[in-house]
Structure 1
Amino acid sequence: MVGDGAWEFVDDRGRRTGAPERPERIVGYARSAATLWDFGLRPCGLFGSQHDGARPDPVKTGAIPPGEVAYFGSGGSLDETALREARPQLVVGVVYDDDALYGLPAETARRLESDLPTVALRVGGGRSLPAILDRFRDLAVALGADPAAAPPAAAPERLTAAESTLQQAARDHPGLRILALSGDGGDSVHLARPDAWPDLRHLADQGADLLDPGAGAGKSWRSTDWDAAVELRPDVILHDVRGNASGAAELDSIPQWRQLLDGAHGRTVAWNPEAPCSPGAYADFLEAVATGING
């Protein structure tokens, strides 16, 4: 923020974005828009990634009521004309290990960043979860969110309490092994590498025992067959619930998934790798993991 009514913000790429006044019409990547919503702000539009479809993934859009915020499409199918017609004063995206806006083709991102004020916050494995949450809070405050009147989803006390709950569960049940995965049909599954995911690392920081899926191609995932997942013999399973992952009906049709459930005595937890970056969203997740550990 700068004086005389002007506004500016330095994003996680070190890029300074300015405007004559604080932006009010904001378009964001689904995860970003959902985060701002949790802080009491109201984006005017959102877009998805190459993994999304013609409708927004409700898992990624969090507490935003269906149809409440305009959806401009996803990835290479983004409707740039509709997005521009919404007259956004700011576009909020995310970046992972490089500086490219996630979820958009490079040329699309280049056009948007050339024409519209844009900020991007880093959510990749190199960042801790607390650092990610702090940066989204910084942005929300810069955009007018009032920490003193924060909605429950933005209250840091909820996350602190959930951390204590998870720590106690881990102490009460030492040695329970947790596997995070994303189903990809009956023939393959993606097993998460805990060090590549800030939320999984945060579970480990609270004392939870995350399974490493072992050697194989892939930085964030080990992409393999379901038999490899069964061989790891997890006690608790975190399963990706985004729209691009195998859903409940498909999972139930996979024999190895049923084997995993039997071995874990049914202890499964819904996992959203792109949850809103708000304390409340992650408090919900940590509480669910604690419940899974407690059985």
Structure 2
Amino acid sequence: MKTFLTRRGARRILGPLLTVLLAGGLVTGCSSGSSSAGSSPAGASAGSAAAPVEWTWTDATGTTVTLPQRPERVAGYADYAIGMFAYGLQPAAVFGRVDVATDPRFAGYDLSSTAIVGTSYGQIDLEALAAAEPDLIVTGIYPTDRAGTLDTTAPYYAFADLEQQAQLAKIAPIVAIKVGGDGRAVIESLTGLATALGADPDRVAAAKADFDAAAADLTAAAGQADLEVTQMYADPDGIYVVKPADEPETQLYRSLGVTYTDLHPDGPYYWDIFSWENVGQMMTGDILLPNVEGFQAEELMAQPTFAASPALVAGQVNTWNGAALDYASQAVQMGKLAEILRSSRNVTGT
């Protein structure tokens, strides 16, 4: 849901379902070199007076970035910047698919010293970004198939095209995080990069503890009732049901016991796509989680072929905004899903 990008061929529909976001060093065998002492964040936090030490990071694409010292000013796409904030870092600049200042996922984080340089997908103010003087730019890259293949000839996630990507690379080196498949691996990758950038180890440890507790609670909630969850995006063309094995967030929650609608597990990558004429095939879920950027309950009820959905009739529809893939964000997200499961009932009789 980073998380989330729809895949209708080459078309991408933005939304927080898949979310969130990231893969770099730990998942792909990437490594970070030593960095300057202290816990200087990506743009703010106190550091040590020790002499700078060369900083190296190899990202998901195999690209190695080497800098004279650890980056102190980091810019990033919103989904990844949230993870930095969560670990005590202060990004120098952020660009997102919506206005970051009104993105509820940033609630509680201080944006006063962070430049907002993009408020819709692929639209980045290059002059404003350059003025923020980033040492590093962080974004993501999504696999093109279930095997995890990365197409490095295409623009990275969040960039409009290769021309824009080249312009960004002139401002600062870019590292891309792989966002696909194993949810825990993606979280560990973002955490590894954040740690290499000087994240507060105490905040990381506390977030991990909250994550572990929330994961245990989600497993308990999933075991209390026999419920099927349909995570989806809907628009005038039809309904796109997330393939739980392909989206990191749903893969993680399924590993914790949540049952998702998965009618064709060996079918096309990432989405099962249903036109409004054939949506009756996928009305098996007890709970609907429509992506925040698509149709919600009112619009779904207005579709004659879907109005009889048991979950829709029962009012078990919850707008879903994919969380960033860091320990802190996912602890909160799992708590939300556990609450939804506990407040719902089986309405399909399956």
What residue in structure 2 maps to residue 121 of structure 1? 177
2:156 matched residue in structure 1: 101
- The correspondence for 1:167, drawn from 195, 214, 219, is 219
Structure 1 residue 262, shift from structure 2 partner: 4.6
Alpha-carbon distance, 1:145 to partner? 0.9
Identify the residue that residue 200 of structure 1 maps to in structure 2: 250
Q: Which moved more, 1:104-113 or 1:74-83?
A: 74-83
* 1:71 counterpart = 2:116: yes
Alpha-carbon contact 2:134-2:171 (below 8 Å) kept: no
For 1:37, the aligned partner's letter is F
Per-residue deviation at 1:68?
A: 5.9
Q: Which residue of 2 aligns with 1:81?
A: 127
Aligned residue in 1 for 2:193: 139
Q: Deviations over 1:128-187 (max 9, x none)?
A: 1111111111111111112124485xx11111112211222222213x2111111224x5
Q: Percent identity?
A: 27
TM-score (norm 2): 0.71
- Asked if 1:37 corresponds to 2:81, the answer is no
Cα 1:115–1:72, aligned 2, differ >3 Å: closer, same or farther?
Answer: closer
SS where residue 178 of structure 1 aligns?
Answer: strand
Within 1, Cα distance between the matches of 2:63 and 2:287?
A: 41
Q: How far does residue 213 in structure 1 lie from its aligned partner after superposition?
A: 4.3
CA contact (8 A) 2:55 2:69 kept: yes
- Native 8 Å contact 1:180 1:239 kept in 2: yes
Q: Relative to 1, partners in 2 of residues 1:290 and 1:180: Cα closer, same or farther, differing over 3 Å?
A: same
- 2:270 maps to 1:220: yes
1:248/1:45 Cα in 2 relative to 1: closer, same or farther (>3 Å)? farther
Query: Is 1:238–2:289 an aligned residue pair?
Result: yes
Counterpart CA distance in 2 for 1:86 and 1:75 is 19
Out of 295, 315, 334, the position equivalent to 1:266 is: 315
Q: 1:198 to 1:34 in 2, by over 3 A?
A: same
Does residue 181 of structure 1 match 2:232? Answer: yes
Aligned-residue offset at 1:60: 5.7
> 1:137, 1:213 → 2: CA distance?
33
What's the Cα RMSD here? 2.9
Amino acid across the alignment from 1:266: G
CA distance in 2, matches of 1:165, 1:124: 24
Higher helix proportion, which one? Answer: 1
Q: Which runs of 5+ in 2 are unaligned?
A: 1-32, 36-51, 144-149, 345-350
Tell whether the 8 Å contact from 1:271 to 1:285 is kept in structure 2 after alignment.
no
Maintained 8 Å contact 1:216/1:223: no
1:115: Cα distance to partner? 4.3
Contact (CA 8 Å) 2:297, 2:312: kept in 1 or not? Answer: no
Is residue 28 of structure 1 aligned with residue 28 of structure 2?
no
Give TM-score, length-normalised by structure 1.
Answer: 0.83
Q: What's the secondary structure of 1:120's corresponding residue? A: strand
8 Å CA contact 2:87, 2:203 repeated in 1 = no
Q: Which runs of 5+ in 1 are unaligned?
A: none
Q: Cα gap change, 1:229/1:39 in structure 2, threshold over 3 Å: closer, same or farther?
A: farther
Spell out, residue by residue over 1:10-49, the C-alpha distance to the aligned partner (whole angstroms, 9 max, x if none): 212222112222212111011111111111111111113x
> Over residues 165-212 of structure 1, what are the superposed CA-to-partner deviations in whole Å (9 max), with x where a residue is unaligned?
1222222213x2111111224x52221111210111112111221111
Give the aligned residue type for 1:69: T
| Contact persistence 1:188–1:224 (CA under 8 A) | yes
Secondary structure at 1:183 match in 2: strand
C-alpha change, 1:112 and 1:204, in structure 2 (3 Å) is: same
